[in-house]
Structure formats: structure tokens, C-alpha cells
Chain A
Amino acid sequence: MGCPYSVISSDSPASPETRVQAPYGQMRRVCGISYGDVFGTEGGAMLWVGEAKISKKEDVPKLYAATEPFIADDVVRAFIDWAEALAFATETTDYIGNLPGPAALGTWVRFDKTFLNIIGEEHDYVSLEQTTAAVRTRSFIYEQFATDILLEGSAFRAAYLTENTALLEKFGVVLDSDLTLVGGESLFPKIADTVAELVPYFDEKADMQDMTSVDDNYLGQPDQRYLKIGWAWAKDLVGNTVTEAEKALALAVTTYTGILDSFITSLPVDGFLGDPLIEEEHGDKYAPLLALCQAYVPVMIERACGDLGITEGERLCLSEMRTETVKEQQDMFGLWRNLYFAKATEKAAERGVRYAGMGDYHREWLMDNDRVPDNAHTYNVSRTNFINVIKLTDTLRTL
């Protein structure tokens, strides 16, 4: 059977985490905003239950008295019924809430009550981070977080945490918990894509200016991140090799560790790889970095073709792809990433995870390839779609 996935060509659960348990007022502070400060507390009466606007305390049934604070501020909340309003007030919901900003501040959002909610985000607009804060959940997976087991004491784990601690903490993830529970993707396809991409740069066939922070370049930032993480994994590999390709990579690490280790490990978080490398003093790093990346690529190709995180048919599909040029390698690593990610999403749905965050291209890839789990709903929260959600909130505010 041929590979069912189109080859890109161009001229390129454990059990779900518990809800955040905090008084609502404290949650507003955790989000960094106070709705009262933004929208006022002068009895704007933005509480909707069913199709009724509730503007007086006398209209709140005694049984649901816990919802009374909701008529005292200008935050729009729209509940299907009083039972749902009470559940929200007592912080037992994880599918409704107000966005904390910066995008669409205060917008009332509603997701599926029981299924996995797949959020296809624009990273600079409504994001998974804002969504999970709004609905008050820590049950999620996110594409930037790793599904890989990061052994305690390993350089790999240390490098991953160096690069990702700030974001993990923003999501409320406890760093000494099982980090794989929030992982959406494996690090390896991303390391693979990076080392393949960097070969022509270190070989001085591509312009290292692309990797600098000049103007609106961004490429050098993620490539630096994954070079650092990849270097750490390669260091852990030394003394633990199995295949000939792994032995060659380990040899490159031990040969060049003197010149590369302090350089790579001291690169600042969120820095741009090209910024130091365009300086003359680092001209001596190009040859060893080239040797490292050239040794790395075959290891990643092997790993993709042997990845038990995808099916046998998918591994066969990857093994049939050409991997001679950088573009072909990146196409293969890109498909590897998508296949692995689809599996990770399926597993998350199986274990009852509530939210999966990914770029909107990925959401559509899952749809194109019929890989949306049966117990999942997809949401496109990009601007064109989301403007209608904002308008609904605005309408409810002004009625």
C-alpha cells in the first residue's frame, strides 16, 4: 500500500489535571487583570440566564444566590440555565469563561462540555494560554510542550526546562510534575528540522543574516532554541549509542565539545542564533557546528523511521521518502511531526484531556487527513472566525 499522506512539494491523560481551585476573585488576579477595574463595578447587569437578562438581586432564585456577584459588575456572562450559572460560580466548570486578554479581553467563550476541544490558534491572537485561563482548567496539551520523557538529571531535561520554564509557568504547570501530560508534540522532529536547516548556514551557503534579530527576522530564535535542546540530547547520547549513525554523532559531540559546549549552553533564552555567529570572534564555530549537524541528520532520519509513537504503516511511509536534500529532509521531518502529533492528540482524547492547542494549520491538517478524534471538537479562534464571538459578547453587553 502506498503512503496515504501527500508528500509536500514546492520550489518547500494519566488522568486529567484538576481544575484550578481558587476563589473567582483570586482567579482574576492570577490572570493578571481585574474585570472590575476594566469594566467597572457600577451594576452593569451583564448576567444572562437562558434568554433573560438578570439585572436585579430579586431576580436571582435563592438556590442560586452564589451567582449574585455576577450582576454587580460589567462582565458579560451568558449561561444556558441557572444550574450552569451556579456551577460556574462555584468553579466546577471547565468549558465557559471570559478571556483574560490581551486578545479580545472579557469575551465570553463556550467550548464543548465533555469532548476534547482542539483550539487552532494564531499565536499572536487568542491562544491556548488565554483559553485555558478563561475556562479555568489545567487539563490540556500544547504543541510547544514535549511528549518526550525527560529523565531527571539529564542535559536534555535541563535544556528543555531552560527554554520552556517561563511558558510552562504561565500555563500553571508544576515543574516537578509529569510534564508529558501537557505535551502535544515530540521534540525530535523539531530538532531534526533545525539541524537539517542549519547545515547550509554553517556551510556558508546560506546567509547567516537570516538568523539574526535584524528587522523582522524570526528564524534565528526557534533555531537557536532547538539547537540548544538538540545539543543537550546529543551530549546525553555519548556512552549510550546503539547504531553507527548515533556513534558518529557522539563522536562529533566529544570531538567538538571543547569549542561548542560553552558557546551553545550560554546562548541566551529567546536569543537569535545569528547574532553571535555573524561576529568574527565566532567564525571558528562554523566548521564544528556543521560537523555536528551533518552527523545529527542521519540519526534523526533513523529515529523517524523507527518511531514507535506512530504506526508501522506510517514508519514505512517515512522510510520511503527521499532525504538527500535539505528540503527533502525537512519535508520528511514535517510529516513525521504531523503523524506523531496526530497520535498524541488521539491519546489525549482517550485519556480525557479537555483542550489541545496547536497552530491553525495543524488543526486543518488533522481535518484534511481525517485524524480528528471522534470525541473531539475543533475550534478556529483566528480573527476572521472569532470576530463573531466578540460581537456576540458586545451585543449582550449593550442589550
Chain B
Amino acid sequence: MATDPDAAGLNVRAAILITRELPGTAAIKAPIMIWWLGSRFHVRDESGIPVDDLLALANSPRGFGREPRTKEDFMDTRIRLSAVTDVYGDRTVPRGTVIRRGEKLDTDLELLLPLAELILSGDVARLKPTGHTQVLGREAAEYSTYLPSEKGTGSTVRRLVSGPYTLLREVTNENRRGALLRVETLSLDEGAVSDTDVRS
């Protein structure tokens, strides 16, 4: 979990694009808006992806979200749904809210937080940068980490981090050439968030 040590000062609106490509599946392209105001957040996804699949894109141990295993799963990836998902939470409160199809669901914050934290850098102090570049007009450090797998070679996670933000997160696997998960920050507006943006 990318827990931000300086959450109190957060005021940022970010547009991100989650892309996932896996052989046999329809590519996921999920444009998502994330608002942070202090400890409170709001995430909006209009791609239609079911909530647990969305959360798994942010939090799966293998890095590629919830992967299909059966023919039914693979064919389901070609289903396009129309529902919009809104996720609300507050780090200081143990429960968050998911709103989908007009229905509200209260659930554990820890399930929801990784999605909102996709744009946060987390604690990178112990990591050594492998390079530096510019993204969205900001200086960014590059970090590379390794997610091991039970079955063989693991995945490589490459991140571009600028201050408290992650601007790019990319997961690849050298043995699975067609597998990619990419979380790209398309725009970042600091100071643009008001109370109504994060209130359910």
C-alpha cells in the first residue's frame, strides 16, 4: 500500500488511464479521475469494469489484476458494461463507500484505498532510483522493483515518481511478452479539489 506520510497536505485532482493487455483478453482501457483532499478521496471510473476487478488492478499480488482462468472468464473480458463507479473514503475512517448503479455499499477502507493511492508515491526513501526524466513538466525519478511469482519468473514494476505522486506505473513480465499493466497519469492539478469533490 502506498501510504503517503504527508496526507494532511494533499489537494490534488488527477486523471489517469489504466491499460491492461493480456493474451486472450480484450484490452482494458479505464480512464479514471482521482480527487484527494487531506485524508479524503474520491475515485470515479466510467469504464464499467466491475468494482472488484477495478480494485484488483490496483492491488493484485501478481501485478496484472484479476486474470481470467476459464473460457467464461476470458469471454467476459469482452463484455462492456455501462455502470459508473464512485469510490469514497477517508484514511481516518475504517469504512469507505462504493456507489454503483445507484446503490451504495459500505465496505472496508483497506479494500478501497489502493485504488485511490495509485497516484501517490508511497515511501520511496528506501528505494534507489534507476534514472531520472521529465513527465507532465515535472522532474521524475525512475524506480524498478520485482514482484516474485510462485510459478517462475516474476513481474517487473517500473515507476516514475515525482514528489508525492506516481506518474507512471508499468508492470511487465519477461516470460509473458503480451502482458502489460500500465497506470499513466494524464493530468495532475494541485489545489483544484474542493469539499464537494470528495463528499459522497
Which A residues contact B (CB, under 8 angstroms)?
Answer: 6, 8, 10-12, 122-124, 143-144, 185, 189-190, 193-194, 197, 206-207, 209-210, 214-219, 221-223, 225-226, 330-331, 333-334, 337-338, 358-362, 364-365, 367-368, 382-385, 387-388
CB distance from A253 to the nearest CB of B (A): 22
Going nearest first, the 7 A-B pairs with the smallest beta carbon separation are A12-B26, A222-B71, A361-B76, A219-B24, A210-B23, A382-B52, A334-B78
- Give Cα A234 to B122, complex, Å: 55
User: Does B106 contact A334, Cβ atoms closer than 8 Å?
Assistant: no
Q: Which residue of B lies closest to A211 (CB)?
A: B23
Sorting the interface of chain B by its residue count into under 10, 10 to 19, 20 to 34 or 35 or more gives: 35 or more
Q: Pick the contact of B70: A123, A331, A367 (CB < 8 A).
A: A123
User: Does A385 contact B24, Cβ atoms closer than 8 Å?
Assistant: no
Chain A hits for B77, CB < 8 A = 12, 361
User: Any chain A CB within 8 A of the CB of B66?
Assistant: yes
User: Does A222 contact B78, Cβ atoms closer than 8 Å?
Assistant: no
User: Does A216 contact B26, Cβ atoms closer than 8 Å?
Assistant: no
Pick out which of these stretches binds chain A: B7-15, B160-168, B175-183, B189-197. Answer: B175-183
User: Does B24 contact A368, Cβ atoms closer than 8 Å?
Assistant: no
Chain A hits for B68, CB < 8 A = 218-219
User: Does B62 contact A216, Cβ atoms closer than 8 Å?
Assistant: yes
User: Does B98 contact A384, Cβ atoms closer than 8 Å?
Assistant: yes
CB distance from B95 to the nearest CB of A (A): 10
Chain A hits for B55, CB < 8 A = 384
User: Does A10 contact B27, Cβ atoms closer than 8 Å?
Assistant: yes
Q: A10-B26, A215-B152, A216-B149 in contact; A362/B76 too (CB < 8 A)? A: yes
Q: Pick the contact of B69: A123, A338, A384, A385 (CB < 8 A).
A: A123
Chain A hits for B101, CB < 8 A = 367
User: Any chain A CB within 8 A of the CB of B29?
Assistant: yes
Q: A217-B176, A218-B67, A385-B105 in contact; A190/B52 too (CB < 8 A)? A: no
Q: Which residue of A lies closest to B51 (CB)?
A: A384
Q: A214-B152, A334-B78 in contact; A368/B83 too (CB < 8 A)? A: yes
Between A12, A124, A144, A365, the greatest number of chain B beta carbons within 10 A of the residue's beta carbon is seen for A12
User: Any chain A CB within 8 A of the CB of B173?
Assistant: yes
Q: Pick the contact of B149: A193, A215, A330, A367 (CB < 8 A).
A: A215
Q: Pick the contact of A359: B76, B105, B108 (CB < 8 A).
A: B76
User: Does B177 contact A207, Cβ atoms closer than 8 Å?
Assistant: yes
User: Any chain A CB within 8 A of the CB of B125?
Assistant: no
| 10 A-B pairs whose Cβ atoms sit less than 8 Å apart in the complex | A123-B70, A190-B72, A207-B23, A216-B173, A222-B71, A361-B76, A361-B79, A364-B83, A387-B108, A387-B111
Q: Which residue of B lies closest to A382 (CB)?
A: B52
* Further contacts, 15 of them, CB under 8 A, given A12-B25, A362-B72: A6-B80, A10-B27, A10-B80, A122-B52, A185-B72, A194-B71, A209-B177, A210-B178, A214-B175, A215-B152, A216-B62, A222-B69, A359-B76, A368-B83, A385-B107
Question: How would you classify the secondary structure of chain A's contact residues: helix, strand, loop or mixed?
Answer: helix
User: Does B176 contact A215, Cβ atoms closer than 8 Å?
Assistant: yes
Chain A hits for B105, CB < 8 A = 384-385, 388
Q: A207-B178, A215-B152 in contact; A193/B51 too (CB < 8 A)? A: no
Q: Which residue of B lies closest to A201 (CB)?
A: B23
User: Does A359 contact B73, Cβ atoms closer than 8 Å?
Assistant: yes
User: Does B71 contact A361, Cβ atoms closer than 8 Å?
Assistant: no
User: Any chain A CB within 8 A of the CB of B82?
Assistant: yes
Q: Pick the contact of A8: B26, B51, B66, B112 (CB < 8 A).
A: B26
CB distance from B99 to the nearest CB of A (A): 12
Q: Which residue of A lies closest to B81 (CB)?
A: A364
User: Does A360 contact B178, Cβ atoms closer than 8 Å?
Assistant: no
CB distance from B123 to the nearest CB of A (A): 26
Q: A10-B29, A207-B177, A387-B108 in contact; A193/B79 too (CB < 8 A)? A: no
Chain B hits for A185, CB < 8 A = 72
User: Does A368 contact B111, Cβ atoms closer than 8 Å?
Assistant: no
